[in-house]
Structure 1
Amino acid sequence: MILFKTPSDFVLTLWEDADEAAAMIGLPASALLAQAANETGYGKHIPQAGTVFSYNLFGIKAGKSWTGPTVKNQTAEHGKAGWRQEAASFRVYASYAESFKGFVAFLKANARYKPALNRAEEGDVGGFFRALQVAGYATDPDYADKIIAIERRIKQIRS
């Protein structure tokens, strides 16, 4: 388990793993790092339970098809009545690299994300995140805009 002291530490530590996974779908590493930063607060809020650390950088829940280990954590979800806290089971990965690859595999395995993957193949980062939002990846109504803003900051960290 790696703990990140600063956003720069998060970005620089995970860059290689993000770059490898992002290349599988046609995006720059900064895009996947921005999404992971948004989901985890730059690595400060990664699901864990007791001594089980999930390495889950993308908030991927453990649905019916997931046969691996899980951790139960609180999560914030947005609905008609606004934000609420609820418990959910999240996937556990063996490493951050596995989390990045698992995210890509998750998108490819779910037909509802095909429009997002099409945008990624075109190199359209903003279109990718907007399509993820439309497909219901997250409940936050500002999800895409937040990630696009974070990606700009990550590009500055990396340069």
Structure 2
Amino acid sequence: MKGTDSTIYRKRIQPLPGDGSVPFLSGWRWIHTPGHTPGHVSLFRDHDRVLIAGDAFTTVKQESALAVLDQEKEVHGPPAYFTTDWTAAKESVRRLEALHPSVVITGHGLPLRGEKLAGELGRLAHDFDHLAVPPEGRYVPEHPQL
């Protein structure tokens, strides 16, 4: 097994361009959305306002086994069990909400669009601390120094 400093990784994994463009995906741009992880990014296509949010927020309550099985579409914060910086996560959700996405695809849950997306994402951005941040946990209230 090769280590992470192997040339095989350097050939396939490259840093994203500083201008926000996404190589090989014309019309898409990347947005730094830390919080769930320090290097987390989301992808956005301006012409139709499609957002690939990754784990910046989800469309299922990932901490609930019943919700995961049911897959009812509803906006929630990033997965609480591994979100390392809640302050950054809140700012990332606000940044994404300001894009007014028409449809979102997240790392957990089903795609969501329209008024339900706009209303629920707006509520999450406005009341993130109450709706998303758990009352206690490994990374509450401090985030790790990486």
TM over 0.5: no
More helix by share: 1
Normalising by structure 1, report the TM-score.
0.28
Larger radius of gyration: 2
Which has the bigger relative contact order, CA under 8 A and spacing at least 6? 1
Query: TM-score under structure 2 normalisation?
Result: 0.29
